[in-house]
Amino acid sequence: METEFVRRGIRPAMTRGVLAVAAALASLVASPTAPLSAQAAPVITQDAPLKIAVIDIDFLAVQSPAGQALAAEITALQDQYNAELASRQAAVEEIQARIVAVDSLDIAQQRALQREYQDAVTSFQRYQQDVQGQAKQRQADGLAQVREEIGPALEAIMKEDGYDLILNTGNPAVIMSSDRVDITQTVLERLQAAPSP
């Protein structure tokens, strides 16, 4: 059995490995005061303690540059939609006033105005629903863009600082966390320092 290992070259390799380790240990014993910087960087093993951080993804979504741009865009859209809704509301109220002013004996004119009023109300409600749908869609698209912006910053910080796990404090799984593990501000500063696309 031993000759089989020797024939395959296992024993010589093991011997070389043992000699290399012995030489390294001998050099450490010979100079126990050698500075740490001259030694190899420590290797993180599977037995090393886990390093965990938490972030507030909702806070980042609002405070990041992309989040701020999204908020400004949505505010501008809301202002535009509100102006259009006010105009349509005024048109509905004008038809309502004409209905009140028409002679109660002119049934044909009242019916025509009632139809016009119903059409205006239906149009107003459809526009309002469309606006709400578009605003929700734009917000969802914008939040996806914000998350895309946050992702690379998180990955970089995770690698640089050696985190094994980063949790979102908005997730029900995180019940409590200390400020010591909260890296939200660090991520935000990284996002703010990044050049604008």
Digit-coded pLDDT (tens) for 131-180: 889 888 988 888 888 878 888 888 899 889 988 888 888 777 776 777 88
Q: If pLDDT is split at 50, 70 and 90, which confidence band does 10 have?
A: very low
Q: If pLDDT is split at 50, 70 and 90, which confidence band does 34 have?
A: very low
Task: Specify whether 135 is located in the same domain as 174.
Answer: yes
Closest residue by Cα to residue 128 from 195, 61, 82: 82
Task: Specify whether 25 is located in the same domain as 70.
Answer: no
Task: Specify whether 20 is located in the same domain as 79.
Answer: no
Taking residues 59-77, what's their average pLDDT?
Answer: 87
127 in any annotated domain: yes
Taking residues 6-15, what's their average pLDDT?
Answer: 36
Q: Is 98 exposed, middle or buried (0-12, 13-18, 19+ CB in 10 A)?
A: middle
pLDDT of residue 182: 87
Task: Specify whether 181 is located in the same domain as 122.
Answer: yes
Q: Is residue 39 predicted with pLDDT exceeding 50?
A: no
Q: Identity (one letter) of the amino acid at 53?
A: A
Q: Are the beta carbons of 51 and 166 closer than 8 angstroms? A: no
Task: Specify whether 146 is located in the same domain as 122.
Answer: yes
Structure tokens at 15: 């011997």
Task: Specify whether 76 is located in the same domain as 173.
Answer: yes
Task: Specify whether 30 is located in the same domain as 102.
Answer: no
Taking residues 83-104, what's their average pLDDT?
Answer: 86
Task: Specify whether 75 is located in the same domain as 153.
Answer: yes
46 in any annotated domain: no
Task: Specify whether 58 is located in the same domain as 23.
Answer: no
57 in any annotated domain: yes
Task: Specify whether 91 is located in the same domain as 155.
Answer: yes
CA-CA distances (angstroms) from residue 56 to 4, 61, 83? 60, 9, 35
Taking all residues of the chain, what is their mean pLDDT, rounded to a whole number? 74
Task: Specify whether 91 is located in the same domain as 25.
Answer: no
94-135 pLDDT, tens per residue?
A: 988 888 887 777 788 888 888 998 998 999 899 989 988 988
Hey, which residues does 166 pair with through a beta bridge? 53
66 in any annotated domain: yes
The tally of domains found in the chain comes to 2
Query: Vertex 125, ends 120 and 127: CA angle to 5°?
Result: 95
Q: How far apart are CA 6 and CA 2, in angstroms?
A: 6
pLDDT of residue 3: 40
Q: How far apart are CA 142 and CA 69, in angstroms?
A: 9
Q: How far apart are CA 20 and CA 13, in angstroms?
A: 10
pLDDT of residue 197: 62
Q: Is residue 9 predicted with pLDDT exceeding 50?
A: no
118 in any annotated domain: yes
Q: What pTM was computed for the model?
A: 0.55
Mean pLDDT lowest among 35-44, 88-97, 136-145, 187-196: 35-44
**Could you count the other beta carbons within 10 Å of the beta carbon of residue 112?**
13
44 in any annotated domain: no
Structure tokens at 74: 């949505």
59 in any annotated domain: yes
Contacts of 99 (CB under 8 A, 6+ apart): 110, 113, 114, 117
Task: Specify whether 97 is located in the same domain as 12.
Answer: no
Which of the two residues, 55 and 26, has the higher pLDDT score?
Answer: 55
Give residue 92's domain range. 52-193
186 in any annotated domain: yes
Q: Is residue 1 predicted with pLDDT exceeding 70?
A: no
Percent of the chain with pLDDT over 70: 74
What is the CATH number for 99? 3.30.910.20
